[in-house]
Chain A
Amino acid sequence: MSDLKTIQQDFMAFLQGKPSQMTKHIKSQQPVATSTRLGIYQNAYISRLRETIDSDHPILGSYLGDDLFDQMVPAYIEQYPSSYPSLRDFCQHIPQFLRDNAPFSEHPILAELAAFEQILINAFDAADATAVGPEKLGTIPPQSWPTMKLRFRPCVQRFGAHWNCVQSWQMLKQEKQPPPPQQLTTPTLWILWRNPERLTEFRSMEPDEAMLLDLALKGGDFADMCDALLNFHGEDEVAMRALTILQQWIELGLIGDIRF
């Protein structure tokens, strides 16, 4: 192996707290000890990643409290070292980490809370796309309605909650005490998007609306959506309900295009 490669591998192993020959590559320079010199790099490595977790997951941090956060950070850094050019992507495995590792895995709300914070980030910097206006519906010929398909703007994200994590997020955001963790009797589907002022918004969906969203995201057409609504509404109400939901989505600016 080349000398350069050996030094670089030893350096990385050292930063990660693994056994390495790093010290022997370093020239002794008084008055600063080699351990101090290397320590500067090790501190920088850990503290930069820690700050990233702190800034991407402020609410998870508050929910966990200092002790559990301090327990999570080094374990996460060890299990999921960054392989990304940007720190923007470093935290993306935190929900999985929290699902897999005790004591965090004993509280499923934690992974959900982390996933919610990540979805907020995804909505924040997703690709731009113009939203279609209500006039778009007028351009669709009547015979094309059954086969028309919706394309959502890239900022639109869905989030399924099995715990009261969104409510907890909201309380902590206002620096208030969150409610005790509670499993929901029926999961709630939330929709998140970026408004015209480029601020992220979210709201919960009615069960029939949630089902339509999933269907539309999977590429179902308007006829499929009306069929699915039969599970919730009478035959004569279905078309009107589908249209109402579609109009709401357009008003919120969720729809990037309607293909027909």
Chain B
Amino acid sequence: MHMEVLIRAMHGAIAEGRGFLRVNEYDMKKQNLGFGLGLRTDHFHHVIEHKPKVDWFEVISENFMVGGGKPRHYLETIRQDYPIVMHGVSMSIGSTDPLNMDYLKSLRTLAAEIQPAWISDHLCFTTIGGVNSHDLLPMPYTEEALKHVVERIKQVQDFLGRQMLLENASSYLTYQSDEMSEWEFINQICQQADCLMLFDVNNIYVSARNHGFDPMEYVQAVDPNRVQQIHLAGHTDYGDYVIDTHDQAVRDPVWQLYKETIKLMGPVSTMIERDDNIPPFAELEKELDHARALSHSALTESNREQSRGQYQCLI
């Protein structure tokens, strides 16, 4: 392209308010990594020796914020063969404490070294008054909280120089002060802060059971253009309530919800998140194969339904 034409096109884009972040967003959205797994210490050797057919791995950022040694060495080896995404648990994006700039610096340094496809954390608060609960504590869904989170995500994205993904956490309680649903809250955040979403299907199921809403209402409400990644995990069912334990296989209702999600959203990078009671690698591969098959059949069904819809229109 001639330089003058290029400059004119850029001026046009700026005049229309199209910033560079938006360009990045489209670049990121094109990136469907396929089917991945959470990388766990127990599987380092297996992954290095057998190079399993897994499309990508997710690592817990905080576990690698160390100087060196085995974990960093294994990650360095594994990332030569697989795309990596970084998933954090301590950003505490919803907290009224100031943003922890030391943490964000460590995160940025780690990202520069690992070159992840993207970085995610949770919609929650973890630290308050300087004390870290190391838990994903739920936000009240209020205008005040919305404004607060949006402002902080913008700051984080500016600092990291990239869009971040925000994951819906599972919750066990509802606040008196709520002014909107969780899906309205997260949709507004993604839109106003221009961030993406890590859509945890299990967490939606868990919260739906704990609060008595229809999980499909959540799935249908979320803007599919914002969903960059999906988590699938296991939970423990106590009858009246469900706890997001991540220590067993994905359960049937979550698989069903995943299939419906893919039917609505199209293909999305999907992974199994197992944090405890870690099984042999082959077991997780089997679960991942099931996710592949479900995604495939969801996409086939959704194409068929769409073409049926077109014929009906013609008639």
A: residues with CB less than 8 A from B are: 2-5, 7-9, 11-12, 15-16, 24-27, 29, 31-32, 34, 36-38, 40-41, 44-45, 48-49, 81-88, 90, 124-129, 154-155, 194, 198
Contact = CB atoms under 8 A, between A and B. Distances in A.
A48 B130 CA distance: 18
Interface of A is mostly: helix
Nearest to A22: B173
Interface in B98-147: 100, 103, 106, 125, 127-135, 137, 140, 142, 144-145
Given A32-B210, A48-B135, A125-B66, 8 more contacts: A9-B128, A9-B129, A12-B129, A40-B172, A41-B173, A49-B134, A85-B100, A87-B134
A5 B95 CA distance: 8
Nearest to B212: A29
A4 B179 CA distance: 13
A45 B133 contact: yes
A31 B127 CA distance: 30
Contacts of B140: 3-4, 7, 25
Interface string B50-68: 0000000000001101111
B151 interface: no
B174 interface: yes
B137 A11 contact: yes
B229 interface: no
19 contacts: A3-B144, A3-B177, A7-B177, A12-B128, A12-B131, A12-B133, A25-B177, A27-B176, A29-B174, A31-B240, A34-B173, A37-B241, A44-B135, A85-B132, A88-B62, A88-B63, A125-B68, A125-B72, A129-B68
A27 B178 contact: yes
Contacts of A127: 67-68
Contacts of A86: 62-63, 65, 90
B47 interface: no
B176 A24 contact: yes
Contacts of B130: 83
A3 B146 CA distance: 12
Contacts of A27: 173-176, 178
Contact of B131 (A26, A83, A87, A128): A83
A37 B172 contact: yes
B71 interface: yes
B160 interface: no
A194 B145 CA distance: 47
Contacts of B297: none
Contact of B69 (A5, A11, A36, A194): A194
B79 interface: no
B243 interface: yes
Given A81-B131, A82-B131, A86-B62, A198 B73 contact: yes
A126 B132 contact: no
Q: Which 7 A-B pairs have the closest CB atoms?
A: A127-B67, A128-B68, A85-B90, A125-B66, A125-B69, A5-B96, A86-B62
Given A12-B129, A128-B67, A128-B72, A25 B135 contact: no
Nearest to A124: B69
A41 B135 contact: yes
B265 to A, nearest CB: 29
B243 A40 contact: yes
A55 to B, nearest CB: 11
